[in-house]
Structure 1
Amino acid sequence: MSYRELRTITELARALAYPRLISIENFRTPNFALVAEMLEWIVKRFEPSALVSADCVNEQERVIFIKACVTMLLQNARIKLNPKKLYQADGYAVQELLVPMRILHSATRQRPSEELNAQWTAMKATLGARMREVTVARQLSSQLPQVGALLNDLLQKDLYMRRERARATSRTVSVQEAERSLKLTIAAVETERKETEEKIANIDSDERSLDEKIERKRREFDHMQKRYAKLQSYRPAHMDEYERYEEKLKAAYELYVIKFRNLTYLRQLQSELERADQQRAIEAERSMRETVEKLRLEQLNQKDAIEDEMEMLPVFQPPPEAQRAVKVFGNMMGAGLSDEDEDDSDEDHPGASGLAEEEEEEEVERFGAVQLDDDDKQVMSSGDEF
């Protein structure tokens, strides 16, 4: 919204002879009544037979009015407006109203010349004459089948009528026969006259009977009107109780609606809490698995490190004198060597076992004994499952 747009719409309204004065300050704040009045005036300028009214009481009527006006402008003038901006009824509505008003103003500025008027008048006269010719030709074409059929029937009857004419002209009529035919004709006319006189004489009685019927129907109508008035003023016996129960039903329905909304909201909260608890359980399980896997990897790394250090320790080699003093007896199956001989060999070389025990004690002192408590054992057992 700008000052130029506000000034332009006021000048266009004045140029287009809008029925009331418009000020720039009218659109500083939302003014739906003025916007609706201007929109109705614009729509009727494009379509004089449009059935729209700017008398809107509630929001629903306003929405229906805006939609109807926008649809009519789109269908009749191919003008596309934004209904949301029109509903705001402020400076943004001015931007939308300027579009049709500029089109109306440009149409008023284009004045046709006299030559164009003369050509347009001649063209309209020619078109009118051609249209009248087309209408007459259409009527004549619709009558052609009927006239042709009638002419065909008359031509077929002409043969019979020709013979009858020839016979009638060739025959001589006697005076007695002519007199008899005239008497018959006079008698038929006299009978018809008497019937007509009887009908004329019965007109009075018919009028009286019709008047009686009209009076009877009028009395019945008045009676029905009085009865209708009584029925309108009559109040049924249980109407008070019906109204009381109707009020109770309305109150119960309002309470039902409130409880239904609360129940729906609580169910939604419950589902959200269950979803959050499930997400927390998944996150806790994932973190536990990561912790167990991390502990398992650390223990494996410690074990590998211990094994590497054990491999790096020097291997004990007995002295050459001890190697030469060892004697082997018997064969591979153990024959020829008894338990006493083994005991003697151990007693003869006590230094070998002592050296092995000293090496084990040094390794324990250097690396320490790797012991696992109960929690570490459970963690290791759970890590093995993964």
Structure 2
Amino acid sequence: MSSQQLADLATALSSLQIPLHISVESFKHSNFPLVAACLHKLLQGVDALVGQGYGPAASTPAERCAYLQLAGKVAARHTGVNLDLKCLYLAQAQAVGELLKLAAPLAAAAAGVADEASVCHAAQTSVNTAASFGGAAFTAQQAAEAAKRIVDACSTDILHRQEIRDALQACPDVPAAQQQVQQALMQGTQQMSATQQCLVDLHSQQRSLEAKAQRLRAEAVRTDKSCAALRSVRPPHLDQLQGLQQRMAQQFRLYLQRQRNIEHLELAIHHLRQAAQQGARREQHASGLGGSMMPGDAWSFAEVKGPGHITKVAGFRKGSLDPLGPQVAKMEGNVTAGVLHGHASSRQRHVAATQGALNL
């Protein structure tokens, strides 16, 4: 906005005899009432519909938009000026240019009309002075003016009737609105009753849950007391039973370890037996080829009683050519004695532990 535009707007408003105080400070911030007042004064003489709008009293955005749309249509229809409604709605410095676009042609038209009116008034004065008061020319002029006023009044009445008809058609149906309000009230009442019932149910559930929690707390207290009493009267033989169970578990682990050792020794004996049998077959084959058995040689058979089987192993008693025969026989005897002794001792310990546990 320039100072020249503001001065031109003030001049145009003063020429149109619009008493408004406009300054630079008026448009530094949004001032919609001033802009609406300018539009109202400028368009009031052009179209009567503008005077029925909200004008400067428009307070809500919807009212302002409606008034600006009406003013824009009136200005475009009567003056041919297309106003920027957005600038007018913001009501800041840009609105001065839009107001000036509307005020300048109106001021020019008003000035031209004033000149023409002065000329016509002078002509009519000369005609009226020339004609007599009761003459035919004067009567015809008065009749024409009366007919024009009647036509204007009829058009205004028709316009007002149309506005009333539109207003009545736009008025909502009162019975339907009352029915909708009653339905809304009934729905609200039902929802309130349902909400109250839900609150009652929630209160009852809360009371039941609190009672249940109280019972659970009492049961927990009783359980703690019972556990404390049981720990205080713990049987003295319970420690002995736990010790026996630990020793039995230890003996069972020892038994498993010895069983694995026995299986390992049986495997070693099996390999030694196979080696001895192969050596005996070689010696027998060699004696069959190169000579016969010595008279002093004799076979000896040793029985090894392992867990679950009996095996015979052959070996030379004396004068034998197999160096592994005496070692195998000695190992078999030691293993057999150890196995039998281990089985007997483990069985005796197991029986003694079982009897001790039963006695306790």
TM-score by length of 2: 0.34
TM-score by length of 1: 0.32
Task: Find the structure with the greater CA-based Rg.
Answer: 2
